[in-house]
């Protein structure tokens, strides 16, 4: 359901929404009327923080994909599995549905998140003429799917706790697990910290329904 | 008061700062921002007693869910089990404390704190709103509500039971334990609790009692 609007930004008429409790405040206030959080009409610094977090996450994505994420010992044979080779093994052992779930959670979601967020941040930083509406829908999708990457870490923790029978059958986490955990944390923070209202200011001189 | 008259008829979109005239909504309908389709507000569906019942049910399931075996492996005559808590602890003990903390926060601490926080809020709303100390505690709890509900990832953990059991079934026989049932129930009860809970409604309860 869509409701009528006045096609005005809040800061034009001296109003500002608290980012913590969504209370409407006049821009003259320094702290929120309701929850006493510091008010910012626009958080310009959030763009830089978001870039910093995103670039760090993008760098960490390389070790997360190149290094092994689990070490599996099966009857004396040691196997180092990266995220990708783990999925290939699942495909070879005829578990296609599970392979698809793991592929989406561990490869597709982190990449989509990092590429999507960088497009979004570029659009704000460099005033790119991309439809704001599409960017915002994309941003909501990224916010929602981001958490599903945790699936792989949960699976690793269950497997490591369950399978510890020495030379017979044994699973251990490997360095990529930490890098992968940090990728999830940093990309979630980058999306959370960003003040999305900046996007709608930057392109204001163009038609905002484009 | 200028501020109060404006407040009742107008709101701002939290993502794009558009000024929006508020309308009464039929129940079960959610208002979306006409410019960027962010969810703005919906009709409060927030029964305090219903939430109290769900909170207590969730607490009943919480401890068995985290401390009873969720997966069982039968391997060459030996039986190993693991719990959700041990899963987080196992990766921690292997030296991957970042991963361990992430799993612990998302699967054990997050849900626990979320349930306790909502329980405390309900008790304050029911009996403590006239005492300044409890009002202040409620305000602090409400400020952390958004973070806690983002930290809770029960739905992802439930899927990870399935994924790890399928993955390990390649090596030996896997059985679900009592913990799996309790954890799934904890997930369902928390899901309904979060659907019932409305942060904006809780803030108005605090506002309305001066």
Residues B74 and B102 in one domain: yes
Residue-wise pLDDT tens digits, A60-111: 999 999 999 999 888 888 999 999 998 998 899 888 988 999 999 999 999 9
Query: What are the residues facing A78 on neighbouring strands?
Result: A73
Give the DSSP letter string of A28-53: T-SB-TTT-PBP-S--THHHHHHHHH
B98 and A102 in contact by Cβ < 8 A? Answer: no
E-state strands within B54-207: 71-75, 78-82, 173-176
- In this prediction, residue A187 carries a pLDDT of 94
Query: Does the beta carbon of B207 lie under 8 angstroms from any beta carbon of chain A?
Result: yes
Q: How confident is the model at residue A12 (pLDDT cuts 50, 70, 90)?
A: confident
Query: Is ipTM > 0.85 here?
Result: yes
CATH fit for domain A44-202, picks 1.20.140, 1.10.150, 3.30.70, 2.40.50:
1.20.140
Q: How confident is the model at residue B210 (pLDDT cuts 50, 70, 90)?
A: low
Query: Does the beta carbon of B32 lie under 8 angstroms from any beta carbon of chain A?
Result: yes
- CB distance A47 to A194 below 8 Å: yes
- Whether A56 shows a pLDDT value over 90: the answer reads yes
Residue-wise pLDDT tens digits, B93-140: 988 999 999 999 999 999 999 999 999 999 999 988 888 899 889 999
Return the SS3 of B41: strand
Q: How confident is the model at residue B145 (pLDDT cuts 50, 70, 90)?
A: very high
Nearest to A147 among B73, B146, B156 (CB): B156
Residues B32 and B122 in one domain: no
Q: How confident is the model at residue A203 (pLDDT cuts 50, 70, 90)?
A: low
Query: Does the beta carbon of B139 lie under 8 angstroms from any beta carbon of chain A?
Result: yes
Q: How confident is the model at residue B74 (pLDDT cuts 50, 70, 90)?
A: confident
- In this prediction, residue A183 carries a pLDDT of 95
Residues B202 and B118 in one domain: yes
Interface residue of B31, B96, B170 to substitute, partner A, most A CBs within 10 Å: B96
- CB distance B100 to A173 below 8 Å: no
Residues B38 and B53 in one domain: no
- In this prediction, residue B60 carries a pLDDT of 95
Those residues whose C-beta lies under 8 Å from the C-beta of residue A74, and which sit 6 or more positions away, are: A168, A169, B171
Q: Which of residues 55-114 of B touch A (CB under 8 A)?
A: 70-71, 73, 75-76, 78, 80-83, 86-91, 94, 96, 98-100, 102-103, 106-107
Return d(Cα A87, Cα A98) in angstroms, integer.
Answer: 9
B98 and A182 in contact by Cβ < 8 A? Answer: yes
Return d(Cα B19, Cα B7) in angstroms, integer.
Answer: 11
- Domain locations along chain A: 1-41, 44-202
What token pair was written down for B124? 């304050």
CATH number, position B171: 1.20.140
Pairing state between β A164-165 and A77-81: unpaired
- In this prediction, residue B3 carries a pLDDT of 46
- Which residue pairs from B44-47 have beta carbons closer than 8 angstroms and sit at least 24 positions apart in sequence? B44/B198, B44/B200, B44/B201, B44/B204, B45/B195, B45/B196, B45/B198, B46/B196, B46/B197, B46/B198, B46/B201, B46/B202, B47/B196
A5 and B70 in contact by Cβ < 8 A? Answer: no
Cα torsion through A101, A106, A111, A116, rounded to 10: 60
Helices (H) and strands (E) in chain A, counts: 8, 7
Instruction: Select, from the ranges A7-11, A66-70, A143-147, B71-75, the one with the highest average predicted confidence (pLDDT).
Output: A66-70
- Whether B7 shows a pLDDT value over 60: the answer reads no
- List the domain range (segments joined by +) for residue B30: 2-42
């Amino acid at each position: 359901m869509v409701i009528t609007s006045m096609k005005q930004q809040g800061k034009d008429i001296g109003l500002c929404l608290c980012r913590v409790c969504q209370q409407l405040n006049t821009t003259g206030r320094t702290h929120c009327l309701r929850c006493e959080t510091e008010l910012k009409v626009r958080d310009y610094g959030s763009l830089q923080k978001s870039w910093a977090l995103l670039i760090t996450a993008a760098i960490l994505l390389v070790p997360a994909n190149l290094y092994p994420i689990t070490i599996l010992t099966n009857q004396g044979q040691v196997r180092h599995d990266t995220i990708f080779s783990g999925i290939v093994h699942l495909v070879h052992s005829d578990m296609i549905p599970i392979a698809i779930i793991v592929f989406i959670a561990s490869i597709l979601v982190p990449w989509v998140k990092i590429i999507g967020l960088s497009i979004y941040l570029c659009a704000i930083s460099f005033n790119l003429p991309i439809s704001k509406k599409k960017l915002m829908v994309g941003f909501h999708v990224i916010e929602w799917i981001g958490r599903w990457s945790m699936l792989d870490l949960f699976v690793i923790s269950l497997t490591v706790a369950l399978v510890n029978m020495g030379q017979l059958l044994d699973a251990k986490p490997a360095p990529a697990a930490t890098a992968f955990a940090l990728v999830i944390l940093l990309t979630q923070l980058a999306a959370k910290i960003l003040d999305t209202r900046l996007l709608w200011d930057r392109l204001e001189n163009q038609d905002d329904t484009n | 008061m200028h501020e109060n008259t404006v407040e009742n008829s107008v709101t701002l979109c939290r993502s794009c700062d558009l000024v929006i005239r508020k309308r009464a909504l039929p129940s079960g309908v959610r208002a979306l921002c006409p410019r960027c389709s962010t969810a703005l507000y919906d009709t409060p569906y927030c029964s305090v007693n219903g939430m109290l019942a769900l909170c207590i049910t969730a607490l009943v399931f919480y401890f068995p869910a985290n401390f009873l075996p969720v997966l069982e492996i039968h391997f060459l005559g030996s039986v190993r089990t693991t719990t959700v808590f041990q899963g987080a602890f196992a990766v921690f003990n292997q030296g991957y404390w970042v991963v361990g903390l992430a799993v612990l926060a998302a699967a054990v601490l997050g849900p626990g704190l979320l349930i306790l926080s909502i329980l405390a809020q309900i008790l304050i709303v029911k009996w403590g709103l006239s005492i300044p100390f409890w009002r202040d505690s409620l305000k602090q709890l409400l400020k952390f509500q958004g973070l806690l509900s983002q930290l809770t990832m029960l739905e992802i953990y439930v899927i990870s039971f399935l994924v790890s059991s399928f993955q390990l079934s390649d090596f030996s026989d896997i059985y679900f334990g009592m913990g799996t049932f309790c954890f799934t129930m904890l997930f369902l009860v928390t899901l309904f609790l979060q659907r019932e809970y409305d942060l904006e409604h809780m803030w108005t309860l605090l506002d309305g009692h001066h």
